[in-house]
A and B are shown apart, each in its own frame.
Chain A
């Protein structure tokens, strides 16, 4: 059951989730909407998700890509945990991107750990959409 996707014909499936305890989901919703308008199927998992819940949702929904939004500052604890869990479930090939308030130094370390793209404040929706599309078509 290899994922042979003919681009355009079958929609990209994306999971958008907010790990951790902050309640600011405006950004996640705006991104979800932009990805929808780009023709993707966005599974919006919502607020206050644990890494376990996020990985489980990603597997059940068989998504092509995962987008995480975080503003709480807990990214250094939560993101690597998600990557570890994906690996444990032999799903490390699912690209993960993130957005929110993430200091440059942390962003560098997270990218080294395997987060494929990190978007800070002010990133255009076009950039997020095109990066998401590229990542979805080029899993690890």
Chain B
């Protein structure tokens, strides 16, 4: 029996191109619905094929328009594209307006594109908790390229790095002086810098500041992020942007960085999943432990402190150090 024959029905349907099952499975993954568990597990082996290209950058720099332009370019090249557009959830109501789709050029009958809007649902870092697994589903569904557009990012929103094989940091002219480019965070994760709205005044200065940043080096992997100017109003630079993505993907393979990066990312993913599971189980167990009530009384009475109580709960005995 081959591995393919053992796929659960929903996974089989996704591999065979059933968009409806794909869409529903994505919902289930987002919702942490156990019905998606076997599908996600079984399709992992079929992921890792498509480049996952992340577009990040502050709000309003034109990420959605660039995604649309890249989709157009990729379709011209005969490539199929899966897109995830992440927008923020309200920290107050949990609601969200997902507007990335609005820039998508209308391709009602083009089955080579699948676009999914995703709310961040409280996750920090610019993507949702489910984004990584959903990008794998799109990969397993056979799309040639996966594009992930992050929430409009702040300086420390760098989670796209854990998902994308190539990260594009999008900026526009007049975002700040060159000191901004020295600051830690967002600018450190760029495999490609994209100066969008390059038709606006100040674009040359923005490019120059970034060029200076790049010449300072310091990445340690031998890749110097290219800087490409783009516009989606008077479309320009989109071909170059895609060429740069391909060049970076090629570099990843040639240098061995792909494997190195992947091992690092997967290691933190596995540890994170294991930690979540152990944490969940521990919480369930401790909340039921009758010792908790007794220890709580002591902590309330200030005869022991919370740290000691936690030690006793976990080890069953006081811990001395």
When the two chains form the complex, which single residue of B24, B89, B101, B116 contacts A45, counting CB atoms closer than 8 Å?
B101
Is residue A106 within 8 Å, beta carbon to beta carbon, of the partner chain? no
Q: Is B97's CB under 8 angstroms from A32's CB?
A: yes
Q: Is A43's CB under 8 angstroms from B27's CB?
A: no
Given A36-B96, A44-B99, A1:B108 Cβ within 8 A: no
One of B30-38, B65-73, B161-169, B313-321 contacting the partner: B30-38
A19 to chain B, nearest CB (A): 12
Q: Which residues of A contact B109 (CB under 8 A)?
A: 52
B179 to chain A, nearest CB (A): 36
Is residue B150 within 8 Å, beta carbon to beta carbon, of the partner chain? no
By the criterion of a CB under 8 Å from any partner CB, how many residues of chain A are at the interface? Answer: 36
Q: Is B35's CB under 8 angstroms from A1's CB?
A: yes
When the two chains form the complex, which single residue of A9, A11, A45, A60 contacts B119, counting CB atoms closer than 8 Å?
A11
Is residue B284 within 8 Å, beta carbon to beta carbon, of the partner chain? no
Q: Is B93's CB under 8 angstroms from A39's CB?
A: yes
A118 to chain B, nearest CB (A): 23
Is residue A53 within 8 Å, beta carbon to beta carbon, of the partner chain? yes
Given A37-B93, A61-B116, A62-B24, A52:B108 Cβ within 8 A: yes
How long is the Cα–Cα vector from A36 to B92 in the complex, in angstroms? 10
How long is the Cα–Cα vector from A46 to B35 in the complex, in angstroms? 32
Q: Which residues of B contact A41 (CB under 8 A)?
A: 89, 95-96, 98, 117, 119
One of B15-23, B189-197, B262-270 contacting the partner: B15-23
Q: Is B99's CB under 8 angstroms from A39's CB?
A: no
Looking at chain B's contact residues, the main secondary structure is mixed
Given A50-B108, A62-B27, A11:B94 Cβ within 8 A: yes
When the two chains form the complex, which single residue of B23, B28, B96, B97 contacts A59, counting CB atoms closer than 8 Å?
B23
Is residue B74 within 8 Å, beta carbon to beta carbon, of the partner chain? no
- Bitwise, A28-72 to B at CB < 8 A (1) or not (0) is 000011011111111111100110110011011110000000000
How long is the Cα–Cα vector from A56 to B97 in the complex, in angstroms? 19
- Mark out the residues of chain A between 10 and 26 whose CB falls within 8 Å of any chain B CB in the assembled complex: 10-11, 13
Q: Is B102's CB under 8 angstroms from A46's CB?
A: yes
Q: Is B108's CB under 8 angstroms from A53's CB?
A: yes
A48 to chain B, nearest CB (A): 8
A96 to chain B, nearest CB (A): 17
Chain B minimum-CB-distance residue to A52 = B108
Chain B minimum-CB-distance residue to A32 = B97
Q: Is A42's CB under 8 angstroms from B19's CB?
A: no
Q: Is A42's CB under 8 angstroms from B108's CB?
A: no
How long is the Cα–Cα vector from A57 to B102 in the complex, in angstroms? 11
B102 to chain A, nearest CB (A): 4
How long is the Cα–Cα vector from A44 to B116 in the complex, in angstroms? 12
Is residue A77 within 8 Å, beta carbon to beta carbon, of the partner chain? no
Chain B minimum-CB-distance residue to A33 = B97
Given A44-B102, A52-B109, A60:B23 Cβ within 8 A: yes
Q: Which 7 A-B pairs have the closest CB atoms?
A: A52-B108, A36-B95, A46-B102, A62-B23, A10-B31, A53-B108, A1-B24
* A residues neighboring B (CB under 8 Å): 1-5, 9-11, 13, 32-33, 35-46, 49-50, 52-53, 56-57, 59-62, 89-91
**30 A-B contact pairs sorted by A residue (CB < 8 Å):** A1-B10, A1-B28, A1-B35, A1-B36, A2-B35, A3-B27, A9-B31, A10-B31, A11-B89, A11-B94, A32-B97, A33-B97, A36-B90, A36-B96, A39-B95, A41-B119, A44-B97, A46-B99, A46-B102, A52-B108, A53-B106, A57-B101, A59-B20, A59-B23, A60-B19, A60-B23, A60-B116, A61-B117, A62-B23, A91-B20
